[in-house]
Structure 1
Amino acid sequence: MKSVNKTTILNKIRLSGSISRADIAKETGITPPTVSSIVKELIDENLVKESHIGRSTGGRKPTLLQLKEDGYYVIGIDAGSKIIKGIVCDLVGQIHSRAEAEIWPNITKEKFLDCLVTVVEQLLTKDQHDTGKVLGIGVAMHGVIDIETGTSLSSVNSGLINVPIKQTLENKFGLPVKVENNSRAMALGEFWFGNENAVKRFAVINIGRGVGSGLIVDNKLIHGAQGVTGEIGHTTISLEGERCSCGNIGCFETFVTGDAIVRRAKRMIPTAPENLTAEEVYRLAKQGEKQYIHILEETGRLIGIGIVNFIHTVNPDKIILSGGVMKSKEIIFPIIKKTIHERVLIDKLREETIIEVSKLGDDITVLGAAALWLNDLFY
């Protein structure tokens, strides 16, 4: 019970920004003596600090409590298929330092791990804070992850198999390590740093080089029996579609990724250049080129169909869309919402399912990796 109360109080302080002991007791139902005792522990543990004096309502002015942002730090790593990015951030997600390393095609897992180690070394060298205040290292990796062992079991984009990320980094740095699928890490990043209105069932769908999703229910990431919850990119939406990198035919991913957009543009636009990119499709669409606008609108319809399937299966309160494809949001997002509105099962889904585009930008994954430790600390 003490642990539950401690977590409740710590989160109340975090979510409130500044709050008095009396208001904590009033809003949580925990007795004032228990609140005072637990707050003292949190201050001693360097998690909470006393702040400015609050406004009096007739008696003595209360001392307000705040999260001690710089009490501890976490390292977040986005282990992408082209680049590894890392940050050191504090308990409220303020980034203090950055590092990165390029990943080349057909890299071996040994070289991949060397690059990962190099990024962490750079972060620890750049950052002048006491390493004893680093809670741990969070790594977001594309593909299927064994979260218990911290092993990347399979990564279609990079071709890496059975990469012992957790073991390697813990042996090298002596810091605890958590490894998570990148889309699930994105969900945590949005949940912690971009989610203004808390909901019970919160999801992020990432659409970029691949398609994945993360689902949080009652503050906890959902993994599934074999750790593949959220692999919506490999749900089949056509029995006669293209072959996916996973080996199956007609996966959702083959219709809506950046590469899929380029393939469709080349197939449908005779004048499309051979070196066309998804970024170029977006640029030409913004210039008013109708054929390219049509390509992105069709992409929006296909994404909308995939999201309808997701809504009917998972039924989340809120869905955040992220990833490189969503950089063309001004063209595709209205079509996505229109498609969802036309196809969902009942009116309550139209009215109550919140669909938004991420505001965290390119930092969503590294912040999500860092949030692996924050979620552990606060929940």
Structure 2
Amino acid sequence: MDNIVPGSFQLMKKINTGLIIDIIRLKGPISRAEIAKTLNLTPATVTNITAELINKNIIVESDLGQSTGGRKPILLKINAESYYIVSIHIGSTGIRTAILNMESKILDKITVKTRPETTYEEAIKIIKESVERLITQNEKVKGKLLGIGIAAHGIVDTEKGKIVFSPNYGWKDKDIRTDLERMFDVPAFLDRDVRAMALSESWYGAGKYVDQFISVKIGYGVGVALTNNKQQIRGYTDGFGEFGHTKIAFDGPLCSCGNRGCIETFSSEKAVERYAAELGIDADCMAVHELSLNGDERAITAINKASEYLGLAIANLINIFNPRLIVLGGDLIDINDYYFNGAVESAKKYALTDLYKVCEIKRAESKGDAIIKGAAVLVLENLFDNI
């Protein structure tokens, strides 16, 4: 019991620091008194945390506010250009690298396509060249890197900074944190891509307003994250969320994990491509999307078929967890109404009525940038651990 109370205080301080940073980012310049009132925190808590943030040059004192009878209050704002963050998303079909400022604004980004046979060494080379190019193109970043946030698909060990298994590439036990820290001489932090998306929604999106919500990231795979009181549920070995590899058939298409009948083989963007091919469309997912917008019935049929299975999967989540909110994100779900609306209707059809009607299903608000912004939050959260 002796370890619980100090840990609880540290967690609360971390959460409060994140809330204070966020309110300054959204409403700054803002006074300490207004922060305390808005967040229902004590003035002493706000004063102590903001003092440490000023000391770290994360926020700065700005103009004087309007007086209500006494001295004019000093206003606070984010020091947007004090530091910068490199954010990396290793997805199933590409590697996206970006630089963000302290207001989570993306200053520049590069996307490089990958193949299933892309080796880990090739991926590291892509990351190195992308980061170096971004720094060269943005001179003010030099010497001001706060850290690197990495979001990867598959199973990761967050504490050790290792990619345990990357199903689409076949990588196993890759110490990416150490490799990037040696390369760029700044701290690096790793998590799953769906958890990065959940972090982004928790800080900047629909998840800001609820204590608990489920995030579902749909790409070539399907991953799930459960956020509870701003914290990620991780499982015993950090493997929580491999929802795409739960089975809905004893047989079925071969999955990247080596088994058959996985949810992602029926409901993912890869499934959309397969259904389209069966109907005579030889194209990638985004091309199928474009055809659907132009009224191609084959493309619409392919997307609707995948969306029904996705809705079935979402219904299972609703029936198991009874969530208030489910956030859906991914390249196709972000932009294709057939896919999103079909999944929602299917979830309504297959979920228990009383549980479905209290659950809101939304798209990720930061859409295509959700994972990149969430990977940057990994760096900021570690900063809060040390405040």
Q: TM-score range by the shorter chain?
A: 0.7 to 0.9
Unaligned runs of 5+ in 1: none
Q: Which residue of 1 aligns with 2:309?
A: 302
Query: Does the C-alpha gap of structure 1 residues 145 and 7 become closer, same or farther in structure 2, counting only changes over 3 Å?
Result: closer
Residues 1:238 and 2:252 aligned together: no
Q: Which residue of 2 aligns with 1:338?
A: 345
Establish whether residue 11 from structure 1 lines up as the match of residue 22 from structure 2.
no
Aligned residue type for 2:284: T
- Using the TM superposition, give the Cα deviation of residue 38 of structure 1 relative to its aligned residue in structure 2, in angstroms: 4.2
CA distance in structure 1 between the aligned counterparts of 2:65 and 2:226, rounded to whole angstroms? 38
Normalised TM-score (structure 1) = 0.88
Gaps of 5+ in 2: 1-5
**Aligned equivalents of 1:253, 1:160: Cα separation in 2:** 19
Distance 1:145 1:30, change over 3 A: closer
3-state secondary structure, aligned to 2:87: strand
Q: Which residue of 1 aligns with 2:84?
A: 73
- Paired residue secondary structure (1:70): coil
Q: Which amino acid aligns with 2:286?
A: E
Q: Deviations over 1:279-334 (max 9, x none)?
A: 34333333333343333222222111100112222333322211133155322322
Which of 95, 102, 110 is residue 106 of structure 2 equivalent to? 95
- Supply the RMSD in Å over aligned alpha carbons: 2.7
Q: What is the letter of the counterpart of residue 337 of structure 1?
A: V
Q: 1:29 to 1:330 in 2, by over 3 A?
A: closer
Instruction: Name which of 283, 289, 303 aligns with 2:290.
Output: 283
- In 1, distance between residues paired with 2:58 and 2:224? 31
Q: Take 1:131 and 1:345, find their aligned partners in 2: how far apart are those partners?
A: 54
The 5 Å alignment of 1:174-189 reads 174-189=185-200
Structure 2 counterpart of 1:200, one-letter code: D
Do 1:300 and 1:335's aligned partners in 2 also have CA atoms closer than 8 Å?
A: yes
Give the secondary-structure state (helix, strand or coil) at the position aligned to 1:249: coil
Percentage identity across paired residues of the two chains: 34
The corresponding residue for 2:382 is 376
Residue 12 (structure 1) shift? 2.8
The 1:44/1:279 distance shift into structure 2, 3 A limit, reads closer
In the TM superposition, residue 230 of structure 1 has moved relative to its aligned partner by: 1.1
CA distance in 2, matches of 1:248, 1:34: 52
1:350 aligned residue (349, 356, 364): 356
- 2:146 is aligned, of 135, 151, 155, to 135
Q: Deviations over 1:61-111 (max 9, x none)?
A: 322222322232211011234432211112221112334444355233223
Please give the alpha-carbon distance, in whole angstroms, between the structure 2 residues aligned to 1:342 and 1:214. 23
Secondary structure of 1:135's aligned partner:
strand
Q: Give distance in 2, aligned partners of 1:281 and 1:7.
A: 42
CA contact (8 A) 1:14 1:66 kept: no
For residue 46 of structure 1, give the secondary structure of its aligned residue in structure 2: coil
In 2, are the aligned partners of 1:72 and 1:90 still within 8 Å (CA)?
yes
Instruction: Report if aligned partners of 1:186, 1:368 keep a CA contact under 8 Å in 2.
Output: yes
**1:199-256 CA distances to partner (integer Å, 9 max, x unpaired)?**
1112221112111122221111222112221111101112232221212221101111
Segment drifting more, 116-125 vs 173-182: 116-125
